[in-house]
Structure 1
Amino acid sequence: MPLHVTIDSDIDRLDTGAWQQLVRATGAPVFYSPVFLRAFDAFPLHSVERSAHILVRDGTGAAHAVLPVYLQQGVDPMGALAANRPEVLDRPILLSHVWHCYETVVPALSADAAHLALGAMRDLAEEWGAALHGVANVGADSDEAELLGSTGLTGTYLDQSWSMDISGLDGFESYLMALEGKPRRELRRAVRRAEEAGVEIRVLAVEDADLDGFVSLARGTAGSKHDNADYYLPGVFQGFLASLGSCARVTELRIEGRLVGALVSLVDGTRYHLWTIGADYGACEGFSPTYILFGQALKEAFDEGKPTVTAGRRNGWFKTRYGLRPTDLQIFLP
């Protein structure tokens, strides 16, 4: 059956039913769900000049490929453009996906459909006057990497993402027993000391969480560790999180009512994403809030029956010790 391409710049005109059905059929991560895309459209987490949603369909209207694309200028939080194409730093470029997505794929039922979506992206870049187009945060050994290479794009190293298969474990205690002795003891010690400090742990829906408090903590953590506090734009990030609804969870740590740590997790059909964290380490005497948030999130992942836990980029030392494994990420450019 012949395939054809539609492009919607207005997300309110997008056939979200067909889009979501394709996302589910391909097992694409939560970053491709209409809920995430609508949240980003309403509350863009970084500057976007224009956006479009590419949908490849057959004659019945069924989706065969989808691809969100964003025209950006001067946006380079990972330093990818500075390292690879410094001449385009101040020029518009068309990229997929947004920088807050660390698992970029090309959701498609076939290679032909994927090629149509990527061809539409290339044509749109020319139409919009983009200096180049590309795809960022792609697993180096993924099918997408091979696909993108076949279109004439070249991948270069960007960062690493981290994930763990927990499908073979019976639960959190089984996970603990599979760890090496020292990491297991340190995690249990942190939990014990947090209990002694009177830490209250709450797992909340976004509408019940202290989103202002989270953003304040996250900006402090990002600023001190990565000099990148504006990865969490005040006001915008809260609005974005509030728009995610049931796709998101917020784990809060409080001592005598004071928020000292928080983790935002995202959930899709097969993954529990430990997406972003903020903590006041100075307020947590004798223990690290990261250990407590990580352990609690794993318990939630087991309880919800998700076979895969992902944990974003960076902080590889901690993640390696606790069983997560790295995937090299690349950015594909002409």
Structure 2
Amino acid sequence: MQVVVTGSIDGTDLDGWARVVAADAAPVHYTPAYLRAYQEHPLSPYTAVRYLTVVQDGRPVAVLPCYLQQQGDPYGALAGAGLPTGDRPALLGHSWYCYDTRVPMLPTGAEQREAVLEVLLDALEKLRIAEGAGVAGLVNVAEHDPLLALARRRGWRVAPIVDRYQLPLQAAPTYESYLMTLGTRTRRTLRQYARRAEEAGVTLTIEAPTPARLASVCALTRLTAAKYGSADMYPEPAFTDFVMGLGEHARVARVDQGDRPLAAAVLLLDEQRLHMWVGGAAEATVDRFSPNYLLWAMEIRAAIELGKSWVEGGRSNRTMKERYGMRQLPLYACVTAEAP
């Protein structure tokens, strides 16, 4: 096995990369379309991007995107987990906007999987030195990913970083069957809000993104994110340009009252999942209903109608997400020891 490193997604074996991502049922964040959109319109600045492809017998068997960041921990997530990155750049995968960091790989046995991961982490450590980074590592890795055990054996620092949330839909073939999985009061609230919104003349729409719609979504997203000090994660015009670059992987969900936008979100789609990516609302309550809850219900209904197996709810807001059926998935970060 060897690892091929390129500085552009279009410099990789695109067909081979896409085959690996599809075979591993990896999320949208690993598709060439997503990586190209983020490369050209980054939401958070990076110094360089490095695409690592493990090649065996002339074909790609595993892939990993990494970003060399001058400010390795821009949102303080690693420091909060006790993994400070120091003052030097950091080489990290995936981007901070991906809550599902993994090494997409062709299906294989446990022994071969570990061999591939060993080769890849060797390459990541060497690349850290070549790029002059203080640390290298992976963020937002699922708790039971074999990658974490290997990182520990190599002496990397491993720590819990945040939780993400996911709703399985295999047992909910219809929206009504989803509602029946919820508590009585929770189910009643969603139905009640839907009736009140209809009486108030509210329209619910899911459509392909346009620059004008995305500008509105970004404004609502920044308004909501500002409450948590994270509005800068969604800069314009990069936000609009990035989402437009996703093509068929992106949709816009809207809750409107006449010409007045009440709530909106960007949804990301891949073969198995609908991702509740980002969104916001102008007000918490309007005419005795919550626009945010309408948005939630609309997204769940859309995922079911599209035949998705999972709804990805992203990070944080545990109370609300668990009340509405999502399960908690702990995430970890693993980084090399800081270079002297």
TM bucket, shorter chain:
over 0.9
Please state how far the C-alpha of 1:78 moved relative to its aligned partner.
4.2
Q: Which moved more, 1:38-47 or 1:66-75?
A: 66-75
1:271 pairs, out of 273, 278, 289, with 273
Q: Which moved more, 1:5-14 or 1:43-52?
A: 5-14
Correspondences of 1:144-159 after superposition (within 5 Å)? 144-159=147-162
Which digits, 9 at most, give the CA deviation of each residue in 1:257-314, with x for residues without a partner? 1222111111112111111111111573321111111111111111111111110001
Please state how far the C-alpha of 1:255 moved relative to its aligned partner.
1.0
Equivalent position of 1:51 in the other structure: 49
SS of residue paired to 1:210 = helix
Please state how far the C-alpha of 1:106 moved relative to its aligned partner.
1.1
The answer to whether the 8 Å contact 1:49/1:73 transfers is yes
Q: Which runs of 5+ in 1 are unaligned?
A: none
Which digits, 9 at most, give the CA deviation of each residue in 1:130-153, with x for residues without a partner? 001111011122333234333332
TM-score for both structures, normalised by structure 1? 0.94
Equivalent position of 2:9 in the other structure: 11
The answer to whether the 8 Å contact 2:85/2:135 transfers is no
Equivalent position of 2:110 in the other structure: none
Equivalent position of 2:125 in the other structure: 122
Equivalent position of 1:168 in the other structure: 171
Please state how far the C-alpha of 1:76 moved relative to its aligned partner.
2.9
Please state how far the C-alpha of 1:58 moved relative to its aligned partner.
2.0
The answer to whether the 8 Å contact 2:285/2:291 transfers is no
Letter in 2 for 1:22: V
Correspondences of 1:318-329 after superposition (within 5 Å)? 318-329=320-331
Task: Supply the distance in 2 between the matched residues of 1:112 and 1:93 (Cα, whole angstroms).
Answer: 25
Please state how far the C-alpha of 1:73 moved relative to its aligned partner.
2.1
1:333 pairs, out of 332, 335, 338, with 335
Answering whether residue 83 of structure 2 is matched by residue 80 of structure 1, we say no
TM-score for both structures, normalised by structure 2? 0.92
Answering whether residue 232 of structure 2 is matched by residue 234 of structure 1, we say no
Task: Supply the distance in 2 between the matched residues of 1:54 and 1:266 (Cα, whole angstroms).
Answer: 24
Please state how far the C-alpha of 1:111 moved relative to its aligned partner.
2.2
The answer to whether the 8 Å contact 2:72/2:85 transfers is no
The answer to whether the 8 Å contact 1:153/1:333 transfers is yes
Task: Supply the distance in 1 between the matched residues of 2:177 and 2:83 (Cα, whole angstroms).
Answer: 46
The answer to whether the 8 Å contact 2:89/2:133 transfers is yes
Equivalent position of 1:301 in the other structure: 303
Task: Supply the distance in 2 between the matched residues of 1:65 and 1:150 (Cα, whole angstroms).
Answer: 21
1:111 pairs, out of 96, 110, 114, with 114
Letter in 2 for 1:179: L
Letter in 2 for 1:281: E
Residues 142/93 of structure 1: CA separation in 2 closer, same or farther (3 Å cut): same
The answer to whether the 8 Å contact 1:107/1:114 transfers is no
Task: Supply the distance in 2 between the matched residues of 1:283 and 1:256 (Cα, whole angstroms).
Answer: 16
Letter in 1 for 2:64: L
Correspondences of 1:14-53 after superposition (within 5 Å)? 14-53=12-51
SS of residue paired to 1:249 = strand
Please state how far the C-alpha of 1:241 moved relative to its aligned partner.
0.5
Correspondences of 1:175-190 after superposition (within 5 Å)? 175-190=178-193
Residues 141/58 of structure 1: CA separation in 2 closer, same or farther (3 Å cut): closer
1:141 pairs, out of 132, 139, 144, with 144
Which digits, 9 at most, give the CA deviation of each residue in 1:176-224, with x for residues without a partner? 1121101101111111121122111110112376000000000000001
Please state how far the C-alpha of 1:154 moved relative to its aligned partner.
2.7
Task: Supply the distance in 2 between the matched residues of 1:203 and 1:93 (Cα, whole angstroms).
Answer: 38
1:289 pairs, out of 269, 281, 291, with 291
Letter in 2 for 1:40: Y
Correspondences of 1:173-252 after superposition (within 5 Å)? 173-207=176-210, 210-224=213-227, 226-252=228-254
Q: Which moved more, 1:202-211 or 1:289-298?
A: 202-211
Task: Supply the distance in 2 between the matched residues of 1:115 and 1:333 (Cα, whole angstroms).
Answer: 15
Q: Which runs of 5+ in 2 are unaligned?
A: 107-112
Structure 1 segments of 4+ aligned residues over 6 angstroms from their partners = none
Q: Percent identity?
A: 36
Task: Supply the distance in 2 between the matched residues of 1:303 and 1:328 (Cα, whole angstroms).
Answer: 28
1:99 pairs, out of 82, 96, 101, with 96
Letter in 2 for 1:136: V
1:317 pairs, out of 309, 316, 319, with 319
Task: Supply the distance in 2 between the matched residues of 1:47 and 1:30 (Cα, whole angstroms).
Answer: 21
SS of residue paired to 2:191 = helix
